[in-house]
Chains A and B, each alone.
Chain A
Amino acid sequence: MGKKSVVPFGPQHPVLPEPIHLDLVIEDEIISEAIPNIGFIHRGLEGLVEKKDFNEMVYIAERTCGICSFGHGLGYVEAIEHVMNIEVPARARYLRTIWAELGRMHSHLLWLGLAADAFGFESLFYESWRIRERILDLHELTCGSRLIFSVNKVGGVIRDIPADKLAYIKDQILIVEKEVKNIEKTFLGDYSVQTRSKGIGLLTKEEAHDLGAVGPFARASGITADLRTTGYAAYGELDFEPVISNDGDCYARLDVRIRELYQSIDLIRQAIDKIPEGELEAKAIGFPKGEYFMRIEQPRGEAVYYVKGNGTKILDRMRIRTPTFANIPPLCETLKGADYADVGPLVVSIDPCISCTER
């Protein structure tokens, strides 16, 4: 056994999209322990709830993160709607589902690009992000903005997607499906990708369960946990099953996320076929009084929104538990025994979103 030494990893590191710091205890280039440290980009968004009106907070909640922005807005408004007992019209619920799935697709394509970048396949990285651009154009066409949607409001949605635009979305996702099939061959079948991902960062089902892993990270270890099955928005009326894999390594995480892309495409098609005509919003009367825990499935996993209203327009408390926060303990477990060269791809494999985590 060699001498133990501590190597700092991050917060500034070429492989990291966002700042997370890990103290890696290393023996002969094999990691024996990883000590995480976060807190570099805390913004105090939850504190703003004491100053802003609960309607204004929708715009602040969705700015928690640039990638899963629609999910944050959706989780917050659903929590407020449960507190205020508002029945959201069916069309608004379907529109929310379409936007949430488009958001999931762009997040997963972004992650595929970052994963390719982490194991050093630059042209695959650019190819993934080129496909993602098509989804971003759909966002801009339907919501007016490429990343921050700002279409949710308490009681419904602000914008409608007319029939011609829905047909256009269907055409575009058909092209996206073809392009994803093309990169799937490389992601799942290429020798160089497999040498960097197969058998690396193993996390068993028991470990994932005990350490509280969520999202695609947990599903790649064989845990059937998908909050969409609880049926919020219009998911209860659509037909789908959680995507799982039993291998628990980096390759399984790639596989799960690629299959979830196809699942999202299928869900968007189903939602477009089933979307009813009707009102876009229900009137929100009064102020929220009471508390609620809302759980939704973000692209990265389960996110929890807690709101507590006191009957005035200012809420008492809002709290967001984001998926990356839950995934840090299992990440440290997978790092034990890993090679130092694999730390980059392994950290990226949980799809870290540190700005979400620190709010």
Chain B
Amino acid sequence: MGFMTFKTTMLSNLFKKPVTTKYPAEPAVYPEGSRGHVVIEIEKCISCTICALNCPSGAIKVDRAARTWEINRYDCIQCGYCTLKCPKKCLHMAPGYQTPGPEKSIEHYDRPPEEEKPAAPAANAAATNAGDGK
């Protein structure tokens, strides 16, 4: 049985730098592959709704007709299951956690409008011919 067994640790800690960081002044460092929040590459999205159907907390909502993708960042549990399920691999997990806020806001993304479908082959050929003629 010893007395003051903690004194060496205590004294050495007095002369060490603190292990904590001055967080808001000094930015937090996240390792590569940290699951902070979900990022979407909206141009690649095809509104298949697989992410919304498989989200364990129901944080994602996809509207096929309105071409929108919405996420409630406060409901998201950062499990990364949507990123595994996405058939186009347009969802990723990126470092950096959701900051606190006064109310649960929903983040809204619009898919770019659909490109006009190329016209029928005959019309295409006619157009090229016309182009050549010039």
Contacts and interface: CB of A to CB of B under 8 A. Distances in A.
Interface in B41-91: 54, 56, 77-81, 84
Contacts of A141: 31, 33
Q: Chain B's interface: helix, strand, loop or mixed, by majority?
A: loop
A140 B30 contact: yes
Contact of A56 (B5, B80, B81): B81
Given A123-B10, A144-B93, A59 B34 contact: no
Contacts of A145: 34-35, 78
Contacts of B34: 140, 144-145
B19 A191 contact: no
Given A63-B77, A150-B80, A191-B2, A127 B9 contact: yes
Interface in A36-80: 52-53, 55-56, 59-60, 63
B35 to A, nearest CB: 4
B81 A59 contact: yes
Contacts of B56: 52, 56, 59-60
A158 B84 CA distance: 9
- Using C-beta atoms within 8 Å of the partner chain, give the interface range for chain A: 20 to 34
Given A56-B56, A123-B10, A189 B5 contact: yes
Given A60-B56, A145-B35, A185 B5 contact: yes
Nearest to B84: A158
A133 B19 contact: yes
B5 A59 contact: no
A64 to B, nearest CB: 13
Contacts of A140: 30-31, 34
A189 B7 CA distance: 13
B23 interface: no
A147 to B, nearest CB: 11
A190 interface: yes
A332 interface: no
A124 interface: yes
A263 interface: no
Contacts of B19: 130, 133
B130 interface: no
A182 interface: yes
A196 to B, nearest CB: 13
A56 B33 CA distance: 21
A302 B21 CA distance: 38
A194 interface: yes
B27 to A, nearest CB: 16
B35 A186 contact: no
A190 B2 contact: yes
B15 interface: no
Nearest to B10: A123
A9 to B, nearest CB: 29
A190 B5 contact: yes
A123 B84 CA distance: 44
A124 B9 CA distance: 10
A190 B6 contact: yes
B83 to A, nearest CB: 10
A190 B81 CA distance: 48
Q: Taking each of A63, A145, A153, A194, which has the highest tally of chain B beta carbons within 10 Å of its own beta carbon?
A: A145
Given A60-B56, A150-B79, 10 more contacts: A52-B56, A59-B56, A59-B81, A124-B6, A140-B30, A143-B35, A145-B78, A158-B80, A186-B6, A186-B9
Interface of A: 52-53, 55-56, 59-60, 63, 121, 123-124, 127, 130, 133, 137, 140-141, 143-145, 148, 150, 153, 158-159, 182-183, 185-186, 189-191, 194
Interface of B: 1-3, 5-6, 9-10, 19, 30-31, 33-35, 54, 56, 77-81, 84, 93
7 contacts: A55-B54, A63-B77, A130-B19, A143-B35, A186-B9, A189-B1, A190-B5
